[in-house]
Copies of this chain bind each other. A is one copy, B any other.
Amino acid sequence: MTTWRDWPELALLEQDSHLRERSLARQEVFRGRLLHVVRDTVAMPDGQQATRELILHPGAVMVIPILDDGRVVVERQYRHPLGRVVVEFPAGKKDPQESSLDCARRELREETGLSAARWAYAGAMAPSVAYTDELIDIWLAQSLTAGETARDEGELLDVCLSTVDGLEQMAREGELVDSKTLTGLWWLRSWRDGSWTPEWR
């Protein structure tokens, strides 16, 4: 019988070969306007074959725009999959060959009209490790200057302001459910309590 006295400490584990799968083949099964779905054949560690369906994604960025008074800029946007308006930090997909920071600058400007003089990289997060290769780079932006927005056709959203405490309150009440924004709150909290210090550039 398994018991946690037998379980190793995560920090001591480095060996992956008993878990790793090897890609053998890829077949496109759906290419829509938004979603690109493939079915891969993989060899499991014991040599048996299995199929893995996943969504190919170019990667994305999220920006946490921070005003001088500490408030942050968020968006309210109707998200059809959830059938509700969702509160999120500004975010968007990378264009081909676009660097993460260039994408962050562009999305911030397009969606909110803001430019930022100071940027700090927090980290990457994977929204759904089971079925997409999407990674979202999280950036902090400070020293903001207002400008013109340039939203995509049909991109409807409210830009608004909130304290970080206000967002955390919403999350505790179940009103803020977006995974990238919740991850952003974890980074902001790590900064506030001194366990992480942004490196501004």
Contacts and interface: CB of A to CB of B under 8 A. Distances in A.
Interface of A: 1-4, 7-11, 13, 16, 18-21, 23, 29-30, 32-35, 37, 39-40, 42, 44-45, 48, 50-55, 67, 73-74, 76-83, 85-88, 112-114, 123-135, 144, 146-149, 154, 156-162, 166-168, 170-172, 174, 177-180, 182-183, 185-186, 189-190, 193, 195-196
Nearest to A121: B174
A131 B51 CA distance: 22
Query: Copies per complex?
Result: 2
B13 A160 contact: yes
Given A182-B186, A185-B186, A35 B20 contact: no
A125 B7 CA distance: 29
Nearest to A189: B189
B54 A80 contact: yes
Nearest to A75: B10
A10 B166 contact: yes
A178 B10 contact: no
B1 A76 contact: no
A38 B56 CA distance: 16
Contacts of A33: 51, 53
B4 A32 contact: no
Report, nearest first, the 7 A-B pairs whose CB atoms are least far apart: A3-B146, A179-B179, A10-B162, A30-B30, A19-B78, A186-B186, A2-B113
